Amino acid sequence: MRQRKFNGNAYRQSAYGQQSAARSYDNGYQNRSGRPPKHSGCNSREVEGGIIVWGWKLSDGAMIKMYARPYKGTQVKTSKTGKDWMNLFVTLTNTKTLQTTKTSGLLNLANHKLYISDLNLVANPKAPNGGYFGKQISKTYNRY
């Protein structure tokens, strides 16, 4: 492949003889919004038995999908601080290796945040730009 200069802008010769402008100052983002591409998302919906939460996250070149639903007979519990919580059954699936992990998580009914403390993950469907599913940033995690 050969390169040549034209009016001060770099052009690249493609394999088919067509010219395409080289990337410049866009950090490789191909979208027009100027924002970096999303790496996670989350949503929730109220159903008859409670609330279901689903989300996705890109991690090490693989997509992790999460689906959380209430257990059969799940009840709402109130903590000492007055917050209402619901226990959900969480299924995490790695789409690259098809490995499935099943665990439980606690859902805060006030803001619909799902905390998966075994894996240090959080799902927040009300985060800006389509929700967040990923690592929980906590001041008390791994303090020992």
At 78-123, the pLDDT tens digits run 999 999 999 999 999 999 999 999 999 999 999 999 999 999 899 9
Calculate what percentage of the chain has a pLDDT beyond 90. Answer: 49
Distances (CA, A) of 139 to 83, 85, 144: 20, 21, 12
Helix (H) or strand (E) holding 56: strand 50-59
Residue with tokens 């993950």: 121
Tens of pLDDT along 16-63? 555 555 444 445 556 666 777 788 999 999 988 889 999 999 988 899
pTM as predicted: 0.71
pLDDT tier at 128, thresholds 50, 70, 90: confident
| Contact in structure between 5 and 22 (CB atoms under 8 Å) | no
Dihedral, 45, 47, 50, 56 alpha carbons, nearest 10: -30
